[in-house]
Amino acid sequence: MLYAFSVELTMPFDRALEEVNRAIKEEGLGVVSEVDIQTVMRNKLKENVSPYRILGACAPSLAKQVIEADPEGGALLPCNIIVREIKPGVTGVTFMDPETVFGLSDVPEVAAAGAAAKKLVEGVRTRLTGEQSINLTE
């Protein structure tokens, strides 16, 4: 089952994070959560890892559609976008495939929201690179 698609950006992590946030906003999405994995690992496990952020992107109208159709559908939200340093000057951006994830619900309105969300997330990818996605498997 395909659950994500990704691209590599030839730019440092901090710049890539700014570009991802810009593209998210330009697609009409908002970032409702941000988890700094690098800091969590350093503070909780005393481990040094490369920069790694998980951004929770959301389109409020689609989230509303999901929750109204399936009150437990909020467990499928938000759409996660990972920004991680692969090596200095190269940053990976991985996008959760909302169509696949929302497809875990058997409610048709949730599936429709997943298809709409996927178009928005693919728009973010296209704004970043214009490249085709690379599918990842379980």
In order of their start, the domains of the chain are 2-137 (3.30.310.70)
pLDDT value at residue 2: 85
Task: Spell out where 1-138 has E strands.
Answer: 2-9, 30-36, 52-58, 79-87, 90-96, 134-137
Average pLDDT, the chain: 93
Amino acid, res. 88: P
Distance CA 129, CA 10 (A): 10
Distance CA 68, CA 54 (A): 26
Please count the residues of the chain: 138
* pLDDT tens digits along 19-61: 999 999 999 999 999 999 999 999 999 999 999 999 999 999 9
Look at 13 and 133; give whichever has higher pLDDT: 13
β-pair partners for 7: 93
CB 78 within 8 A of CB 29: no
pTM comes to 0.90
DSSP state of 92: E
What angle do the packed helices 13-26 and 108-128 form, to 10 degrees?
Answer: 130
